[in-house]
Structure 1
């Protein structure tokens, strides 16, 4: 059985991915794919992984975990999603590093050593990601103290390199959160393992919050009359409609935080663009939309 772990990041889809998958439960089941309710496994996997701390689960324990999660189903692919798999928001940055506990991915891998595993995650521009994470972290320190280092040193490529080191046999799929509204069908295909172009419900779920109701209606009618033949074609169509019907206040991000200057935001954004290119060149890593 293939096991796909969606590990976040925080402040990206906010469980929209699970909701999109849930809208396709019957269709996915027909392909041997199951995305069970999160409440069935999140606490369970956290507790077992913490107890084993990277020790390999034996066959009996694996079978017991899968029986609890699947409740008798026997799929070919299992999707497990939790933005807190690696850490809670308040523990996601330390020493100027993103997800300094990325080694815990090996704890997840060790839960199912007899099954092929893959990791999937959205990344985001640190210029906006860090303030968003800080707002969720419920910490008493100010933003710069929360970063615990030089913000310019925050690197997703460093985090993903550590993920690959921790689980060298597990391929990684990455996408930029900023691109998610336009590449959501590709995200769904990558996580489910389904072929490109297979229509699924919820392919516009990430567009809905940032596009006017009129625009969404026109886009749906256009796609119903002219179904895109691939996720790339759908991306181009969605981009054209978003350009015309996007809600500016939902798309534009305003940052007004002590120490988070316009100069720093510009530097982080430039560094992020280069970082994505580094990630795309990593062996065993696929960056959607690139």
Structure 2
């Protein structure tokens, strides 16, 4: 499309899509990107606001469902990608990119339409290098939260047609590799997000590791007790950590010792969903993560 086109010999436009998953960040990552627009501008990165992000997903989704020709769909995106776009890296954030929540658990898979929608987006963003960022979640908590967010009829339909015990992230990741092999994939465990918030933002924006960010530790602070907040602020202000790994280890220690239980423990209200089920999914989740860490074309952010 013209808005993303680059003359021959000029660096390709990069488009980053943060696709959730659902319930992982409540729009906070996009808020952090927008709050750091000045730093992002230095690397010619531009985060689109919530309205334009939603508009992109709507055009893409409607086009996939209705089998709209790519050229026609590109015309609908010109308001989002203007001709005089002064950026080399666009960032779009929407937890509906892989599909609405009612489709998140279907056909024996988590986000079964993720790869098809990503592959179509690659065509839609013709000439651009597409990158996909996803925070993975323990299916033991993700599945009941998705189901309880749906209308009762939709929930019963999924429960009656889907073997929940077979659901994992691996099929989605494999499908992405098959249908959209040119798309760069960056993953992380949502459970680690408070400890690697700055890394996620910098990776999305293409910023160097040493670029300072506003409110980099705001999420972590919000989860800590008063004692934990004091220790974290002292650590940051004094700069006593010798290197990044030392800092990360200190952050992890503070989080482990001083997290507020009510902030990190989730209520799972799905009838019949108990701690034994969550434990079984947690074990499978750890096994899947071990496999994901060995995948050659996947970048995993971790503490």
Query: Structure 2 length as normaliser, TM-score?
Result: 0.85
Q: Which moved more, 1:11-20 or 1:221-230?
A: 221-230
1:259 Cα deviation after fit: 2.6
Query: Do the aligned residues in 1 keep the contact of 2:20 with 2:134 (CA within 8 Å)?
Result: yes
What is the rounded CA distance, in whole Å, between the counterparts of 2:271 and 2:142 in structure 1? 16
What corresponds to 2:172 in structure 1?
159
The change in CA–CA distance for 1:78 and 1:98 in structure 2 (over 3 A counts) is same
What corresponds to 1:178 in structure 2?
191
Q: Which moved more, 1:170-179 or 1:249-258?
A: 249-258
What corresponds to 2:258 in structure 1?
245
Q: Which moved more, 1:78-87 or 1:132-141?
A: 132-141
Matches within 5 A, 1:1-290: 1-48=13-60, 50-51=62-63, 53=67, 56-57=70-71, 61=74, 65=77, 68-69=80-81, 72-102=84-114, 103-140=116-153, 142=155, 145-146=158-159, 148-226=161-239, 231-255=244-268, 257-289=270-302
The change in CA–CA distance for 1:190 and 1:139 in structure 2 (over 3 A counts) is farther
Query: Do the aligned residues in 1 keep the contact of 2:110 with 2:169 (CA within 8 Å)?
Result: yes
The change in CA–CA distance for 1:166 and 1:213 in structure 2 (over 3 A counts) is farther
CA deviations 1:36-61 (Å, max 9, x no partner) are 21202422442255336485549x94
Query: Do the aligned residues in 2 keep the contact of 1:2 with 1:115 (CA within 8 Å)?
Result: yes
Q: Which runs of 5+ in 2 are unaligned?
A: 1-12
1:130 Cα deviation after fit: 0.9
SS of residue in 2 equivalent to 1:84 = coil
Q: Which runs of 5+ in 1 are unaligned?
A: none
SS of residue in 2 equivalent to 1:68 = coil
The change in CA–CA distance for 1:154 and 1:48 in structure 2 (over 3 A counts) is closer
**Number of aligned residue pairs:** 288
Query: Do the aligned residues in 1 keep the contact of 2:134 with 2:187 (CA within 8 Å)?
Result: yes
CA RMSD of aligned residues (A): 2.7
What is the rounded CA distance, in whole Å, between the counterparts of 2:218 and 2:41 in structure 1? 21
CA deviations 1:229-259 (Å, max 9, x no partner) are 7654432222122123210121223445323
Q: Which moved more, 1:239-248 or 1:66-75?
A: 66-75
Query: Do the aligned residues in 2 keep the contact of 1:56 with 1:110 (CA within 8 Å)?
Result: yes
SS of residue in 1 equivalent to 2:40 = helix
What is the rounded CA distance, in whole Å, between the counterparts of 2:83 and 2:51 in structure 1? 13
What is the rounded CA distance, in whole Å, between the counterparts of 2:295 and 2:171 in structure 1? 11
The change in CA–CA distance for 1:176 and 1:48 in structure 2 (over 3 A counts) is closer
1:179 Cα deviation after fit: 0.8
What is the rounded CA distance, in whole Å, between the counterparts of 1:143 and 1:206 in structure 2? 35
What is the rounded CA distance, in whole Å, between the counterparts of 2:83 and 2:232 in structure 1? 39
